[in-house]
Structure 1
Amino acid sequence: MEIKLKPEALNSKEINKFRDSKRFLFNDQSINNEILLSISSFEALKQLEHDRLLYFATHDPLDQHNRKFIHDIYPIFTSLQRILNLQQSNLSTYARISDLYKNTLEQHLSSCTADNLLHWANVYAIWSFTQLLYFPFDGRGEGVIAEELLDWINRVDVAPTSEEGLEITSANTPHEHDNFWPYIYKCIIRGFHKTATQPLHSLLSHQTKSISNTAERLISLLYTFPRSTNYQFEHDYFSAHKAWRDEAKRTLSSIADLSQYADEFTKDVFDDITLALQLLCGKKSKIFEVADDWRECLAAYGLFVIPSLRRDDIPSVLEEIFKEVPLDTTLPDQCIEAALANAETTKAITLCNEFDPWLVAHLTDLLDKIGAVDHDPEFPLTLRQHFLLQYADKLASDPGLWTITLDYYAQCGVEGASRVRALIVRVPLLLDVKGDNDEKMDGDDVFNETIQTNLPNLTRVEEILSICQEYALEEEASEVCRNAAEQLVEREYYGLAVAFCIRAKEARKLGRITDLILEEYLNKGEKVFSSLVDSIPTSLLNVTTYSAGDMFDDGHSNLEIERDGTQDASARALARDPAVSSRLAFLARYKDFHSSLKKDDKEGAAILLVEMLTTEIAPKRFWSVLLADALPLLEDSEVLFTLEDAYELLRFLEDVHTGPNLKSLPTIKL
């Protein structure tokens, strides 16, 4: 694989010098086709300018024109995997799935650009040929195959064209047109027998009676040629074909007698008619002469030479054909088709890998379902897993396809599961992407509740966590929540960050966030502080309030304690951890304290203040703030504190003044 870097890491003239310097290029590749390269050395060398450069590159990028096709194919792929898991699979079912793939490919062709139309047309040809050979609609594939081969070759390689026929029939004397007989021959071996009769009618008016009579017999033979699709039973078809061939041979014999007496002006016409009859009689050498490639030969064999041709007969027939019409190895699509026809599926898959990543992944997946793919027990991955992972890695280079990528990874055993875990924690959270309000997830959506509006867009986070739950990725879900919490803290959405810290079971980060909320109180006042506390999911505050014990069951709390067990279990478990519950409980109680003051419930405020200190839920660095809050209550004309409470306040005041961390306490403006 060659990757061109801009700017160049090294030019061709510097390679030898670079090697002599005992340096080497170190690269690290991610799962989404990104490569990081740097210059390194095993020895301590003087650092040069280019030693400090990092090079980022992407190899094998995804063609953006194919994104719609990828989305259209995706549900077919997932349906196929579900069918297998439900044990509802049989050859007919796989044939229907294959047909869905084929139809989607056909639709994709209509949107292809001129640059990639030929490539996707070849992909379509390979897929439809695989379906013809390995996924017959009847679920058995035991019948004759000539008509299916003809239908396939005529669909993927149109010949002759209708324009050619129109040009010939529009001529004053069609049989004198230079392309007259080549057109007739092509119509015959492609099965367009009635089409061939249209220009042949011009020979009926030929001045030589023997030619016009012979042309009439040729036209009759073309009209009466038996087709397997017109017969219910094969033995009836074989009998009709034998009788028809006997008649064609008699006609050919009579022409041989007539051509002996033909003059120089009519002999060429007799020779041309003779060749047409030889094709109809199944003369192999003439089929090889007229056919453009082995595919036409194979279809003609089934139509004229071996009317009983079946799928199992194809390899032996191809062996004979390739002796006369060698396979063009410069055409990768035909090489793949030839390998498929010879039942060399491993070879076909290998060639597909060099041809198209989508094709090799999905073709191998489908062939593997019917046991047509060999596996090496010494190789850690099956061919199916290997190529699906390879395709998924390509999808991973497009961040917008991450959900599809995960589903492909998930179908690939242990290695696929590993890549699912690696990718899902790297999916961008897109918190700043604008979205409709009904598409946003607020903080309590993590625990199935509703809180404030005007929040960042958490749709992507919700989607990621849902997938983590689907795949039982607890550790990865925690990491996603940690990342979400960090990004929300950066944006000062502290309440939401608390919810994600709980989900991530990150007590330390939660402590940092509660400290930041308290800092907001010191810097911006009670109103901002209360709004931040309100943004914390009430389920978390309720759990922590309840977990703090009956000491809060005094009728003064404005929080409604939920005991119905509806909250997320992991949230409740962590919220009841003393290190966590005390921090959240303090925020809730301190907000209640200010609410009581606003309601002029000074007695309730005094009780709350003392409780926050004596139950030790208040951070020690915040004691001075609480003591400052106590001053107006102490100065009130009404006695709000008991003697015991007053002694407690004095004890805390002494601790504040004599404590070792006095300098670290916040400065309070009284």
Structure 2
Amino acid sequence: MDALHIDLVPPLVEAGKFNELVQSGHIISASLSPHNNSLAIHMAPLGEPSSENSRLEQEETVYFASHDDIPSSDRRLILSSFSTFSAIWSTMRSRESLMSREALEILRKLSIDYVNFIKESWIHLSQPLSRPEPIQFSAEHYRSLYATFSLFVVLFVPEFGYEDAPVGEELMEWLNIHFIEPSTEEGDHLSSLDSPWEDGAFWPYLTRSIIRGLSKASLFFLDTLLQHPSEDLQDLVKLLIPLVETHPRLPQFTAERDFAQASRRWKDKVKALRVEMDRIPEDSRFDDYDNWWDSLSDIVGILEGRGEVLQRVCEELGADWKEVCAAWGIFVDSRLRRQDLPDVVTDVFEKMPPDPTNLEDTIHSSLFSGNSDQVLKYASDFDIWLSAHLADIMEPLGLLDTEADPESELSRRNQYVLSYADYLHSDPTLWRITVTYLYSCGKAGEEQGDEVLLRIPLQLDIPDSDEPSALAEIIKIISTICREHGRESIASITYARAKEYGKAISYSLSAEDWPGLGRIIDTVLQEYVQYGPAVFADHASKIGPSLDQLHSDSRTGGIFTQRLTFAVRYSHIHKLRLQQDYSAAASDLITLLRDEIAPRSWWPVLLCDSLEFLQYGPKLLFSSADVLQLLQKLEEIVIRSSQGSGEDYLPILVETGKGGGEKEALEKLRTVRLAIARYLARYTVGSETHFT
């Protein structure tokens, strides 16, 4: 399937019957999973359900589909290339270093790493091994990847200082590595013959060997011609052998000028050979099997640098445009530069166009032509891994427009990298890799990366004894990723989900995420509402150090300091209660109310907490002023609630009540009022020990 077409088996609706489905009051609906890029596809009512469509509602079929096949084990390239991508992104993130010698050298080295990783995958899949699951991509697929990325490196990531050097030798080396011709089997067969020139494959093999620069094979078979019955041919071969032996090749020279001079002198000797050939009479140019002169003339024509001869001979040999272009830089224009290659390619394509049905050939032709947009388009159709990693290198090299598309608001590079990240997201276990690719793609990628991290499952299906350490390891990884990419707010949320509130607050401060900080404090307080004082006190006691950090940070507002102070000091009250230090606990409770450290929504909760201290038997814990403070807060709550402002005071108490509403909450406060009255009576009569 592709992004716009999904085949369901069996189909939800038969072909041509979609209108009937709509008329029945239904439509096909799909929901995207936030965990990966899978879809849940099902029938849905087109409007309000009615009796007319009840038949379709009796049984609902849900299909699960994915935009991409989940990467299987044969895609080991995903893991091996990830570290290289990270290194490239880290290097190129600094715009100051862009296009510097150091940056380009690193880029070349890492590009070659990609080539080596692809080669390893190709070799691995070429081995005849039994595999536990069907492979997604064949060894041939990786061979194509290998050839393509190697060509990209040759053309666009040359060794520093050689950007303007002749490219013919490198292209021929690439061709000989990835498209081997002539075959070894042909050579073995011909070399076993006493008179190899009698075989119809002899001259094509010899010509191909010379074009490819295979001097050892070329000289071997030229030597056999010294036994040919034609003395004229023998004489010409004696002149040709040293020309093949001494053909100047760029790697043999330290200076291009010396290479150019040697090439001119060598070409003069080739011209001299042509003169000798033309002296051979017409009737002496044949043997019993072939016109040896025409075959030899083709070889000499290629050595002369005659482009039309090279192209014709390559076509007759069954070679394609790639071989012509590579040989062009050896024989026709030995000083051919990369920037001039597209002009040569255009001329060659007129007679030898690339195969439009072969994606590999189409990508290669686009690379030779220097058309980056076409390269990425066809590469994406071939393998989304290829288009993403080519685009990632192309942008810093200046091969892509860095401006964002007006519609998608994405640069060309980011479009392809995001598409690859979406493919990775089909496998949730690859989340670490996925988010790194996403975070390299600007704001759009960061937003998607945040969503992925926020949905990493923290509850693992593993033995209880192992769960804490495994959970800690996942959180540590998320924290590291967030720190590397400046996403501390996401790390804060992750720690909060794991109830590591101290670390969560620290990350919120680092990210200057003040709303997030407020949410974490509210979450800590929610521990009291959901699980009671003991659990709350345990969690809140761990955020105490964050209070010192918050006090020392001048960027924060007072509201956050006050809310965190309340949470810490309120938890301390409950710790004192659990330790049966009721006097200190009662004193702290009054302080929270008197100094208005406690938010209004928590006043009723604190008043209910005071019941324990008001009813404490051995001694009086509150002074008369303390009790009046309690009564004052109680009166404000009751009066304002009666005036319609109960939502400002009562929601927390309502929530802790596990049911009921404001009426029930006010009933609890009446219990507090009664306890205050009794306490004042005890205090006035003085029948008990004075308060402490």
TM-score (norm 2): 0.73
Name the CA distance, whole Å, in 2 between partners of 1:50 and 1:398.
Answer: 33
2:224 equivalent in structure 1: 202
Which of 221, 227, 246 is the equivalent residue of 1:224? 246
Matched, 1:239 2:253: no
Per-residue Cα deviation, 1:164-201 (whole angstroms, up to 9, x for no partner): 32332233443334432222111111111232111332
1:313 equivalent in structure 2: 340
Change (3 A) 1:647 1:34: same
Q: Residue 513 of structure 1 aligns to a residue in which SS?
A: helix
Task: Supply the AA of the counterpart residue of 2:157.
Answer: F
TM-score (norm 1): 0.75
Q: CA deviation at 1:50?
A: 7.3
Query: Equivalent residues in 2 for 1:16-415 (5 A)?
Result: 16-29=19-32, 32-44=36-48, 45=50, 46-47=53-54, 48-49=56-57, 52-65=60-73, 68-86=76-94, 87-90=96-99, 92=101, 93-94=103-104, 96-112=106-122, 113=125, 115-139=137-161, 141-258=163-280, 260-262=282-284, 264-265=287-288, 268-291=291-314, 292-374=319-401, 375=403, 378-379=406-407, 380-415=409-444
2:498 equivalent in structure 1: 484
Change (3 A) 1:585 1:249: same
Matched, 1:462 2:465: no
Q: CA deviation at 1:294?
A: 0.7
- The answer as to whether partners of 1:38 and 1:51 remain within 8 angstroms in 2 is no
Change (3 A) 1:456 1:624: farther
Name the CA distance, whole Å, in 1 between partners of 2:621 and 2:400.
Answer: 87
Q: CA deviation at 1:612?
A: 7.4
Q: Residue 63 of structure 2 aligns to a residue in which SS?
A: strand
Q: CA deviation at 1:310?
A: 1.8
Task: Supply the AA of the counterpart residue of 2:571.
Answer: L
Change (3 A) 1:95 1:540: closer
Name the CA distance, whole Å, in 2 between partners of 1:322 and 1:104.
Answer: 30
Query: Equivalent residues in 2 for 1:546-585 (5 A)?
Result: 573=560, 577=564, 580-581=567-568, 583-585=570-572
- The answer as to whether partners of 1:29 and 1:36 remain within 8 angstroms in 2 is yes
Q: Residue 27 of structure 2 aligns to a residue in which SS?
A: strand
- The answer as to whether partners of 2:302 and 2:310 remain within 8 angstroms in 1 is yes
Name the CA distance, whole Å, in 1 between partners of 2:364 and 2:490.
Answer: 44
Name the CA distance, whole Å, in 1 between partners of 2:608 and 2:61.
Answer: 46
Which of 641, 646, 650 is the equivalent residue of 2:619? 641
Task: Supply the AA of the counterpart residue of 1:364.
Answer: A
Change (3 A) 1:102 1:119: farther
Query: Equivalent residues in 2 for 1:410-429 (5 A)?
Result: 410-429=439-458
Name the CA distance, whole Å, in 1 between partners of 2:16 and 2:294.
Answer: 67
- The answer as to whether partners of 1:543 and 1:572 remain within 8 angstroms in 2 is no
Change (3 A) 1:130 1:383: same
- The answer as to whether partners of 1:514 and 1:584 remain within 8 angstroms in 2 is no
Which of 554, 572, 577 is the equivalent residue of 1:590? 577
Change (3 A) 1:197 1:472: closer
Q: Mind listing any 5+ residue stretches in structure 1 that lack a counterpart?
A: 441-453, 489-493, 520-528, 547-561, 594-604, 635-639, 666-670
Which of 1, 5, 16 is the equivalent residue of 1:2? 5
- The answer as to whether partners of 1:188 and 1:196 remain within 8 angstroms in 2 is yes
Name the CA distance, whole Å, in 2 between partners of 1:606 and 1:19.
Answer: 70
- The answer as to whether partners of 1:409 and 1:416 remain within 8 angstroms in 2 is yes
Q: Residue 38 of structure 1 aligns to a residue in which SS?
A: strand
Q: CA deviation at 1:588?
A: 1.1
Name the CA distance, whole Å, in 1 between partners of 2:622 and 2:328.
Answer: 108
Q: CA deviation at 1:296?
A: 0.4
Q: Residue 667 of structure 2 aligns to a residue in which SS?
A: coil
Change (3 A) 1:141 1:322: same
* Number of aligned residue pairs: 593
| Identity fraction in percent | 23
Query: Equivalent residues in 2 for 1:511-526 (5 A)?
Result: 511-514=525-528, 517-518=531-532
- The answer as to whether partners of 2:67 and 2:426 remain within 8 angstroms in 1 is no
Change (3 A) 1:357 1:571: farther
Q: CA deviation at 1:589?
A: 0.9
Q: Residue 47 of structure 2 aligns to a residue in which SS?
A: coil
Q: Residue 619 of structure 2 aligns to a residue in which SS?
A: coil
- The answer as to whether partners of 1:432 and 1:457 remain within 8 angstroms in 2 is no
Change (3 A) 1:156 1:413: same
Query: Equivalent residues in 2 for 1:624-635 (5 A)?
Result: none
Per-residue Cα deviation, 1:222-267 (whole angstroms, up to 9, x for no partner): 1121212222333332332233223223323433443523355165
- The answer as to whether partners of 2:355 and 2:362 remain within 8 angstroms in 1 is yes
Name the CA distance, whole Å, in 1 between partners of 2:574 and 2:502.
Answer: 11
Task: Supply the AA of the counterpart residue of 1:415.
Answer: A
Name the CA distance, whole Å, in 1 between partners of 2:203 and 2:149.
Answer: 33
Task: Supply the AA of the counterpart residue of 2:578.
Answer: K
- The answer as to whether partners of 1:429 and 1:458 remain within 8 angstroms in 2 is no
Which of 660, 667, 671 is the equivalent residue of 1:660? 667
- The answer as to whether partners of 1:541 and 1:588 remain within 8 angstroms in 2 is no
- The answer as to whether partners of 2:541 and 2:568 remain within 8 angstroms in 1 is no
Change (3 A) 1:239 1:503: same
Name the CA distance, whole Å, in 2 between partners of 1:312 and 1:496.
Answer: 55
Q: Mind listing any 5+ residue stretches in structure 2 that lack a counterpart?
A: 127-136, 509-515, 594-604, 635-664, 673-692
Q: CA deviation at 1:395?
A: 1.8
Q: CA deviation at 1:295?
A: 0.8
Which of 12, 17, 37 is the equivalent residue of 2:15? 12
